[in-house]
Amino acid sequence: MATLGMAVLGCGRIGRLHARNLARHPRVRLAQVFDVAGEAAQQVAAELGVRSARSVDEIWDERNVRAVVIATPTDTHVPLIVAAVKAGKAVFCEKPIDMSLERARACWGEIAADAPVVMIGFNRRFDPSYRALRERLKLGEIGRLELAVITSRDPAPPPAGYLQSSGGLFRDMTIHDFDMARYLAGDIARVHAFGANLVDAEIGRLGDIDTCAISLRARSGALVQINNSRRCVYGYDQRLEAFGSGGMLQAGNRHETSVASWNAERTTGRDVVLHSFIERYAQAYEAEMDAFVAALAEGRPVSPDFADGVEALRLAVAAGESLRTGRVVELGP
């Protein structure tokens, strides 16, 4: 079986993880890594025994590199997607496509004629439990979906430097949940958002919120509730619930161990839940890259694709509008 030549752009937190997963992928030859901070790329290159490109043009010119992973800061995604597609590469790009819906749509306008292959890094679709929940939902195990509840709370706020350029809670963090809402309930028709600054006053000074409760109405009629916090003392709280005419499906947290403690006063004390997204979604990050590689090797469409990235961003923008105006935002087709 021929291997797929690939390169990773951006060797920070998530780029390093993707590079490590690709380096041990049986259907991939990780040819190059690149980072504008040369040292970051050199470290990853040395660890994995691959080349560190001196410039991004080296990657565009390398004919053996058929696909790239874009794991650079969000404001660089659009120019890199355009350049990669124009160089004939398939693209896996981290979420979100961009902070601006207009720029994301303009990006598609620039590349659409090139029959681009662009997958977006909504890794939670590939979490084994979330995926199984969705498959069982689609198989009708709980009848018709009526309500979905998506809980997503970070252990602690990111540093102020990150928050400043993050694009705000909805585009940076809730974007995963907006995608999950569509994954479970299909296209969304109406959005209402409450947001508050309850965790860290510094976040409020930056003009952002750290806590939110969002209500969505899907075109199917199903309702979705999303709740987020930038702080959660017991770990990285990631749960899904789908409630339907015939029952309920739940996917819960992953704990450090599965030990449960029972004594005269309590019966359910367990370890805290895993703290980092890297550990919690380790299998999902591997599975999403596997799906990207398999789709390319077998000539199938990638999923989630660019349009899914745009739709999640559209929901983030609508939630921002609802937060500002206090109104329900109606989404056109």
Ligand X SMILES: NC(=O)c1ccc[n+]([C@@H]2O[C@H](COP(=O)([O-])OP(=O)(O)OC[C@H]3O[C@@H](n4cnc5c(N)ncnc54)[C@H](O)[C@@H]3O)[C@@H](O)[C@H]2O)c1
Contact positions toward ligand X, by CB under 6 A? 9-15, 34-37, 40, 56, 71-74, 76, 94-95, 121, 123, 277
Residue 104 contacts residue 175 (beta carbons within 8 Å): no
Cβ of residue 60: shortest distance to ligand X, in angstroms?
Answer: 12
Please say which residue, 108 or 126, places its beta carbon nearer to ligand X: 126
Q: Is 311 strand, coil or helix?
A: helix
Copy the structure tokens of residue 69.
Answer: 């992973």
Residues 6+ apart with CB under 8 A from 17: 278, 285
Please say which residue, 36 or 198, places its beta carbon nearer to ligand X: 36
C-alpha 276/C-alpha 262 separation (Å) is 27
Cβ of residue 9: shortest distance to ligand X, in angstroms?
Answer: 5
Please say which residue, 95 or 314, places its beta carbon nearer to ligand X: 95
Residue 247 contacts residue 141 (beta carbons within 8 Å): yes
Q: Which residue's C-beta sits nearest to ligand X?
A: 12
Please say which residue, 94 or 308, places its beta carbon nearer to ligand X: 94
Identify the DSSP state of 255.
Answer: B
Please say which residue, 295 or 328, places its beta carbon nearer to ligand X: 295
- At residue 54, φ and ψ (nearest 5 deg) are -80, -25
Cβ of residue 204: shortest distance to ligand X, in angstroms?
Answer: 22
Cβ of residue 318: shortest distance to ligand X, in angstroms?
Answer: 20
Strand locations in the chain (E): 4-9, 28-34, 51-52, 67-70, 90-93, 118-120, 145-153, 188-196, 211-218, 223-229, 237-244, 247-251, 260-261, 269-270, 329-330
Cβ of residue 73: shortest distance to ligand X, in angstroms?
Answer: 5
Please say which residue, 72 or 174, places its beta carbon nearer to ligand X: 72
Cβ of residue 333: shortest distance to ligand X, in angstroms?
Answer: 28
C-alpha 92/C-alpha 84 separation (Å) is 10
Cβ of residue 162: shortest distance to ligand X, in angstroms?
Answer: 8
Please say which residue, 147 or 282, places its beta carbon nearer to ligand X: 282
- Ramachandran class of 276: left when φ > 0, alpha when ψ lies in -120 to 50, beta otherwise: beta
